[in-house]
Amino acid sequence: MTRGLGIVSLVVSLVISLMLFSSQLTRGGSKPASPKENPIVQQASSVAAEAAAMQAEHELAAYQADRGTFVGATVTDIAGVTVLHAEPTTFCLQIASNGGVLYDAGPGGTPTPQRC
């Protein structure tokens, strides 16, 4: 299971790197935008948040498979992700992303700015 998470992390990192590299090539000599204004940086942050949420959901799914509930679950070794609350069949993740906070109502949720 951890091998799969490592591969997902590697692929996401490569995609983000390629997006940032290609934006530098196409921008030419123009003035660099601040990270909050740059749509490429915002998109990369969004992809990174989704990848972190996916890794956390996999970890929580393994916890539920072992114990039959999400109650008492925590997320380890995934930077910026914390479990806000865990019920028997659902959970809420908080994901720190590029100076902002996103939330993931799981299982199967997607990161959104709206608190779960």
Query: First vs last Cα of the chain: how many Å apart?
Result: 27
- pTM of structure: 0.65
Number of domains in the chain: 1
pLDDT digits (tens, 9 = 90+) for 49-86: 889 999 999 999 999 999 999 999 999 889 899 999 99
What domain range includes position 69?
A: 2-106
Residue 115 belongs to some domain of the structure:
no
Phi, psi for residue 11 in degrees, rounded to 5:
-65, -45
Residue 111 belongs to some domain of the structure:
no
Residue 113 belongs to some domain of the structure:
no
Residue 114 belongs to some domain of the structure:
no
Please state the rounded mean pLDDT for residues 25-35: 57
Residue 116 belongs to some domain of the structure:
no
